[in-house]
Amino acid sequence: MKRVGIMGGTFDPIHLAHLLAAEEARFRFNLDKVIFVPCGVPVHKKPYEVTHAEHRYVMVLLAIAGNPYFEVSRIEIERQGPSYAIDTVRAFKQLYGDGVTLYFITGADAVLEILTWKDADKLVELCRFIAVTRPGYDLSRLREKLGERYANAIDVLPIPGMDISSTGIRQRARNGEPIRYMVPEAVYDYIMRHRLYSDKAVK
C-alpha cells in the first residue's frame, strides 16, 4: 500500500457529496483506499447538538458498504476530547509508516479554514491535502489566501458540484421535506427508523 486517503467529517448525516468526493479522490489520485473518520467531539462547537457518535458511525458504515476501497475508522470516536486532525494523522502515520503517503480529503469550505486547525503547520508536513470543489466556495487564489507553504501541500480536485450539506438535510428533515436521494438508501432508512432528525420523519 502506498497512498491512503483520510476523509474526516462530522457526517451528521453522511450524504452523497461526501461519497462522491471520496470516490473521485480515490480514482484521480490512485489511492489504495479511503478511510472515513467520523469525529468524536467536533473541534469547533457546532451551533446545534451533534447526533450521538454511534449513530453517525453506523450511518457511515451503511453508506460505504459495497465499496471495497472504503473503510471507516473509530479512532476519533474512541479518543477523549476534541477530534483534532493532527492527532488522527499522527496515528495513521504511525500505523502505516513512512512508505505510505497520507492524503487528507476536505471540501473547499474546510480547506479554506486550515490555518485555524490545530498545529496546521505540522499537519501540512505530515500529509498532503486534496481539496474538492464545493458549490458556494471559491478555491481560486488559494495561494494568495493561504500562502505558499500551505498551497504547496494542497491539490485542488474539481468534482461534479452537489449543493447539499448535512445542515441542509437536517433542516429539511425537521421541516418534513424529502431527504431521500440525498443520502444512500440504507442511510435514509436508518434515519427514518431511528427518527434522527425529526419526530415527523417516519416513513
- Residues at the site binding ligand ATP, with contacts judged by CB under 6 A: 9-12, 17-18, 21, 106-107, 109-110, 132, 134, 162, 164-167
What is the C-alpha R_g of the chain?
Answer: 17
- Dihedral, CA atoms, 39, 40, 43, 45, nearest 10 degrees? 110
Residue 97 or 154: the one with the smaller Cβ distance to ligand ATP is 154
Q: How far apart are CA 192 and CA 186, in angstroms?
A: 10
Strand partners, 157: 132
Residue with cell 453508506: 63
CB of 13 to ligand ATP, least distance (A): 9
CB of 64 to ligand ATP, least distance (A): 14
Task: Identify whether the C-beta of residue 139 lies closer than 8 Å to the C-beta of residue 114.
Answer: no
CB of 80 to ligand ATP, least distance (A): 21
CB of 99 to ligand ATP, least distance (A): 26
Name residues whose C-beta falls within 8 Å of residue 79's C-beta, 6 or more positions apart in sequence: 40, 87
Measured from each CB, the residue nearest to ligand ATP is: 107
What H or E segment, with its residue span, contains residue 111?
Answer: helix 108-111
Residue 37 or 201: the one with the smaller Cβ distance to ligand ATP is 37
Residue 73 or 166: the one with the smaller Cβ distance to ligand ATP is 166
Q: Which own/partner contact pairs does 186-190 have at CB distance under 8 Å and 24+ positions apart?
A: 186/62, 186/63, 186/65, 187/13, 187/14, 187/15, 187/59, 187/62, 187/63, 190/55, 190/58, 190/59, 190/62
Residue 107 or 201: the one with the smaller Cβ distance to ligand ATP is 107
Residue 46 or 193: the one with the smaller Cβ distance to ligand ATP is 46
CB of 2 to ligand ATP, least distance (A): 23
